Amino acid sequence: MMLPEVVDMNMPAEGVFHNLVIVSIKKRYPGHARKVMSALWGMGLMMLAKTIVVVSEHVNVHDLSEVAWRATGNIDPRRDLMIIEGPMDDLDHAALRHRYGGKLGVDATEKSALDDVAQSWPEEITMTDEMRERVTRRWKEYGL
């Protein structure tokens, strides 16, 4: 209710829960992903999250392979990374000092004119249902 733009959230075991939060949002304005990151870091124990990755609403936050693909393909490090300092988990051995350290926010949403991006964002290539069925039928022939 506090963040109605949030579509889904995942705190995967691979991030030991508090070290990685993946959030999908319905993006409406420039800086929207940063607003969500800041809001999450300001909510209770979410203040301990070391890394927050924000993706677009259609991305499955529970598919870590898809999230990795989006996070590496949709960012320009200079524009889309946010590094701040703040409270850290008591068990974080990598922090600057006990219970305080750096945090990383990643805006891995698709960019558009809304984000003042000079080049057009490419459309995603998807297989038609007909092609998917054809490949499935012939899978053994391919030797894979």
pTM above 0.85, yes or no: yes
Q: Is residue 100 part of a domain?
A: yes
Q: Is residue 132 part of a domain?
A: yes
Counting the structural domains of the chain, the total is 1
For residue 60, which phi and psi values (nearest 5 degrees)?
A: -80, 105
CATH code of 79's domain: 3.40.1670.10
Q: How far apart are CA 44 and CA 21, in angstroms?
A: 14
Q: Is residue 1 part of a domain?
A: no
Exposure string over 42-80, b if 16+ CB within 10 A, otherwise e: eeeebebbbbbbbbbeebebeebeebeebbeebbeeeeb
Q: Is residue 40 part of a domain?
A: yes
pLDDT in tens, 23-55: 999 999 999 999 999 999 999 999 999 999 999
Say if residue 144's pLDDT is above 80: no
Q: Is residue 87 part of a domain?
A: yes
Per-residue confidence at 140, pLDDT binned at 50, 70, 90? confident
Q: Which domain holds residue 128?
A: 6-142
Per-residue confidence at 116, pLDDT binned at 50, 70, 90? confident
What is the model's pLDDT at position 113?
84
Q: Is residue 118 part of a domain?
A: yes
